[in-house]
Amino acid sequence: MATTIAVLSQKGGTGKTTAVRTLTDVFRRLRLTVLAVDLDPQGNLSDYLDVDPDAFPTIGDVLTGRAEPAEAVHGGIIPANLGLAEAELALGGKMGRELTLKKALAQVKGEYDVVMIDCPPALGLLTVNALVAADYALLSAEAQYFALQGVEQALEVIELARDSLNPGLEWLGVVLNIADMRTRHSREAFDSLREHFGEKLIDATIRASIAYAESAERAVSIIDYRPDLGVDYLNVADELLRRLGLDQARGRLSAMVNGGGATAGV
């Protein structure tokens, strides 16, 4: 069965969706089969992965029972659109609503090595569904003053999901996005997270750059568009693979980087 990772943040603008998109790309280059699940009604991950805006069915159709999960996979992603907001409202009145995504993914996750869930930038019912369906939670935080507060709020939701619905859920760690470690502000944000969360903070940080928006607009991975920036995600991926115990994939990553093939694809 796939290792399922829910990627979440307390608010928007933390680079969360870019993280899901790029890590999905890196893992696929390492010959891991990856299913991306867009659980954000804004559908940014679907856009980034170049899914047809009119693609049908979507994750909203799956959650409301209008489609089977396998039918909603389009090129390795179950996409989302604004209809997901309506699906969330419909879920609110159902018994066992927090288990809906878990039951759906159980039908398809056996075909994949990794499932990456891009949660909405809010800690509501959709995010709880993701945490109940996941084996691990990965937090995305922006390198700014309120990063610590946002991580603590997200951890409260993780603990709620673990205590009541998913006792096996593990916190994979927190990655600092949109960081300029040349500035004191970013360094202080990093140090604050390190002080409070120790080794749960991933050492590698993701540098701030307009290139991420440019690469998304062109539907080109940052690994290819700006390899000098893409190396940040290769370092994050290496640490995540270590924590997940995926040693063979980690060895392939090392060989890819050392052989200069980081942008070569699978």
pLDDT at position 24 is 97
pLDDT at position 72 is 97
pLDDT by residue (tens digit) across 197-238?
999 999 999 999 999 889 988 888 999 999 999 999 999 999
CA 194 to chain centre: 21
More confident residue, 36 or 53: 36
Instruction: Count Cβ neighbours within 10 Å for each residue of 48-85 and write b for 16 or more, e otherwise.
Output: bbebeeebebbbbbbbbeebebeebbbeebbbbbebbe
pLDDT at position 179 is 82
Query: Which CATH number fits the domain 3-246, given the four candidates 1.20.1050.10, 3.20.20.70, 3.40.50.300, 3.90.1150.10?
Result: 3.40.50.300
pLDDT at position 242 is 97
Mean per-residue pLDDT, 237-262: 90
pLDDT at position 264 is 40
pLDDT at position 262 is 55
pLDDT at position 265 is 38
pLDDT at position 260 is 65
Strands (E), the chain: 3-8, 34-38, 77-78, 114-118, 136-142, 170-177
Between 1-15, 24-38, 52-66, 227-241, the lowest mean confidence (pLDDT) is in 1-15
Q: How far apart are CA 42 and CA 196, in angstroms?
A: 32
pLDDT at position 180 is 78
pLDDT by residue (tens digit) across 97-135?
999 999 999 999 999 999 999 999 888 999 999 999 999
Provide the edge-to-edge strand list for the sheet that holds 34-38: 77-78, 34-38, 114-118, 3-8, 136-142, 170-177
Whether pLDDT at 15 is above 90: no
Whether pLDDT at 263 is above 60: no
| pTM of the entire predicted model | 0.93
CA within 13 Å, CB half, 232: 22
Spell out the domain ranges in the chain: 3-246
CA within 13 Å, CB half, 39: 36
